[in-house]
Amino acid sequence: MKNEVQIKGKFHYRLIGWKYSNWVRALLFLLLALLFYGSLYTKLVPQVYDIQLGAISEKTIYAPRQIENAVATEQAKEDAAKRVQPVYQVVNLRNDALIDAIFDRLLLINSDEEVKFDDKVSIYRRVIPQLISDLESESIKSLQASGQYNDQLMEQISQGLTEQQYKLPEEAYFKLPRLTKEDLAAMLPVTKDIVSKLMNDQILDAQPARAKVAELVNTSPLTKNTTREMVTEIARAVITPNKFYDQKGTDDARGQARESVKPVFINKNEVLVNEGDVITEEIYARLDTLELLKDKANHLPQLGLVILSILLSFVMVMFVKQSVLPIQYNNSQLVMLLLIFIINTAAMKIISLGQNLDYPHIGYLAPTALGSVLIAILLDAPIAFISSVLFSLMASIIFNTEHVQLFDFRYGLVSLVICFSAVFAIQRASQRATILKAGLMISFFSMLTITSVMLLEDQWTQKDALFSLSFAAAGGLLTAVFVIGLLPFFEAAFGILSPLKLVELSNPNHPLLRKLLTETPGTYHHSVMVGNLSEAAAESIGADGLLCRVGSYYHDVGKTKRPSYFIENQTNIENPHDRIDPNLSKSIIIAHPRDGVEMLKEFKMPKPIRDIAEQHHGTTLLHYFYHKAVKQAEEEGSDKEYREEDFRYPGPKAQSKEAAIVGIADSVEAAVRSLRNPTLEQIDSMVHKIIKSRLDDGQFNECDLTLKELDTIAKTLNETLLGIFHSRIEYPSELAPKKAN
């Protein structure tokens, strides 16, 4: 970093004071860090209150961010679980197989004549309940083997079958042995039909289903009372519950119901406690969760914000340090950068207040790209790009309303896209209308990015889309309006000569240019030619070509005070210098830079333009009038001695590359114009001679032009002059005598 730039020579400037003070520079970067800290504090560090449990609140406290209402959420989950109906499972217990087994046993025993009646009664009293129990056990084992039912449900099935098992009345055992083969054959289909009909329904309690058996038997084709009675009893014994309470299924369903309940939130800026309310345990716990209690305040967020602010400021320090522009050492430009950050941040903070009015997407209206555009126009594109990253990071925090994370990527992404697109659009701006075009581009890319985000999230509503895109479209236009309004302020306050301002100054209708054209047409034409030469030369070495061109237009405006004393304006008139003393001629000639500066000040022209007018001759020697004075003294026999210092321009020497280039182009154009039929060799020789003469004379000692750049300038001037004087140049081949045939 340059702490001090010393200028050697009779007229020199010493760049000192606050503009080049390291302490001031450190203070400005500290202020930038404080800006980051202050603008992000309310979003990242919650406010705390001195509140005690059971005390009365002295103020109304609002939620600084959205927070889950744990009590309300838990109550909602309980309500959802209570609304879930018990879960039951319907199972197939193979009742048809049980009927077949009973009737097979009846047919077998009743057909055995060797078995006595009493023995048959005893057998039925023992065998039939055993058949029912065995088949139910087999059914349970089959269900367990299938793996479809959990252990709790299997216990419920086993318990339900046991508790609701039907016991045949004692008299039935005495009637069963009397059933004939024909009776059993008639009873079997009727029994199966009745059981099938009843078991098709879901039976939680078997008793109501068993009560319906008698009615169905009465409508059957059976005619004997005994067969009807036995079918009724056997059907009742076979009918079992097939619908069982599933405790695990019920618990799972209730658990799913609890999980499906969305958390109940206390929204941002919703009242947590009103003034005068008693601080209950619930309210106290809620304030504690939000870290709003002073005695339990967490200071880690403040430390984190301090570190973040320092890091963001450090990023700017490094990029400014690497810049090749005067901001590297000029604190006034750093002040301008800080002011742009303040304005841009203030605009975002003001827009963010609208998020409290139920417009959650109003952040897209913020002119986030305002700072990037101003920096790109007034300073440098690389600094504008890194500033865009910082602005985007700040936007993702300032417009973050959900507080799920520290940053809302949607606003950060949109801000980054529009800032970058704005810098690309405005880099080569040459008219104020370009700013409006950049604003339209900001609107377009903002809407495009928002559309992309909405499609990726797939959680947007038509209302959200309409508001977001409308705010985005308006945000681009708002940015353009602010840039157009603020740009003249920065240009005037900091003496910044932006490309837009330069293009305006190049308008031939400017009063000074009109004066130059009407009063000194020769000088005007000379200035235009110098402008073309200097612009090409400046751009060849990376200097400001537009500044050189516009500066050239005004560099000789001081000649309008005495136009006839300058050779380019002496058309068909006598040269007045032939009749006056060389000292007077010298005074008139060297006065035109000073006169030009005074005129430029009168019209409030920017300092870089005035500097070019003042410095383009540097301290060069007026060779013609010096030698004329010396020769005149010799002819008159005068012993008066003339020094070269008396016939030099007062300076100062060129302080910038642009002023030096305009000075070279000025001399080159005048010298080449004096040649009647210039050749390529003459032009090349003239250009190198003028540059070498100025170099040997020390005219480039106070600007940072290198020898390599001077060589590039010479080549560019040769190429440009070749295009300008192409029709007048005599080529060597044309000058050579023709050979005789």
Tens of pLDDT along 563-575? 887 777 777 777 7
Mean of the pLDDT values across residues 667-688?
84
Mean of the pLDDT values across residues 106-130?
84
The CATH number, out of the four listed (1.20.1260.10, 2.60.40.1930, 3.90.1520.10, 1.10.3210.10), of the domain defined by the range 501-734: 1.10.3210.10
* Whether the model pTM is above 0.85: no
Pick 466 or 582 by higher pLDDT.
466
Instruction: Please give the pLDDT value at position 484.
Output: 87
pLDDT digits (tens, 9 = 90+) for 353-399: 887 656 778 889 999 999 999 998 888 888 999 999 999 999 998 88
Residue found under tokens 């984190």: 304
**What is the overall mean pLDDT for the chain?**
82
Instruction: Please give the pLDDT value at position 107.
Output: 86
Least confident span in 40-49, 162-171, 341-350, 699-708 = 40-49
Name which of 95, 100, 96 is nearest 184 in CA terms. Answer: 100
Name which of 64, 38, 44 is nearest 407 in CA terms. Answer: 44
Whether pLDDT at 2 is above 60: no
Instruction: Please give the pLDDT value at position 289.
Output: 67
Residues 407 and 399: their CA atoms lie apart, in Å, by 9
Q: Provide the residue ranges of all domains of the chain, joining segments of one domain with +.
A: 18-42+304-496, 49-68+273-296, 88-245, 501-734
β-partners of residue 271 are 62
What 235-238 contacts at long range (C-beta under 8 Å, 24+ apart), as own/partner pairs, is 235/191, 235/194, 235/195, 235/198, 235/210, 236/166, 236/210, 237/102, 237/128, 237/132, 237/166, 237/167, 237/168, 238/95, 238/98, 238/99, 238/102, 238/132, 238/191, 238/195
Instruction: Please give the pLDDT value at position 553.
Output: 92
Whether pLDDT at 555 is above 80: yes
Residues 661 and 364: their CA atoms lie apart, in Å, by 46
Least confident span in 89-103, 231-245, 727-741 = 727-741
Mean of the pLDDT values across residues 270-296?
72
Q: Are 583 and 644 in contact (CB under 8 A)?
A: no
Q: Categorize the per-residue pLDDT at 403 as very low, low, confident or very high, splitting at 50, 70 and 90.
A: low
Q: Are 447 and 475 in contact (CB under 8 A)?
A: no
What's the start-to-end Cα distance of the chain, in Å? 71
Instruction: Please give the pLDDT value at position 679.
Output: 80
pLDDT digits (tens, 9 = 90+) for 308-349: 999 999 999 998 888 877 788 888 889 999 999 999 999 999
Q: Which two tokens stand for residue 401?
A: 């309303």
Q: Categorize the per-residue pLDDT at 290 as very low, low, confident or very high, splitting at 50, 70 and 90.
A: low
Secondary structure letter of residue 105 according to DSSP: H
pLDDT digits (tens, 9 = 90+) for 488-542: 888 888 877 777 788 888 888 889 989 888 888 888 898 899 999 999 999 999 8
Render 207-243 in DSSP notation, one character per residue. Answer: HHHHHTHHHHHHTSS---HHHHHHHHHHHHHH----E
Q: Are 554 and 613 in contact (CB under 8 A)?
A: yes
User: Angle formed by the axes of helices 545-554 and 607-615, to 10°?
Assistant: 70
Instruction: Please give the pLDDT value at position 738.
Output: 38
Residues 647 and 624: their CA atoms lie apart, in Å, by 10
Q: Which two tokens stand for residue 106?
A: 């009846």
Mean of the pLDDT values across residues 414-440?
83
Name which of 68, 59, 60, 70 is nearest 282 in CA terms. Answer: 70
Residues 169 and 235: their CA atoms lie apart, in Å, by 13
Residue found under tokens 């642009």: 658
pLDDT digits (tens, 9 = 90+) for 457-467: 877 788 888 98
Mean of the pLDDT values across residues 649-665?
91
Provide the sign of the torsion angle of the four alpha carbons 17, 19, 20, 24, taken in this order: positive
Pick 529 or 677 by higher pLDDT.
529
Across 241-253, b (16+ Cβ under 10 Å) vs e yields bbebbbeebbeeb
pLDDT digits (tens, 9 = 90+) for 51-101: 777 778 777 776 766 677 777 788 888 888 888 888 888 887 778 888 888
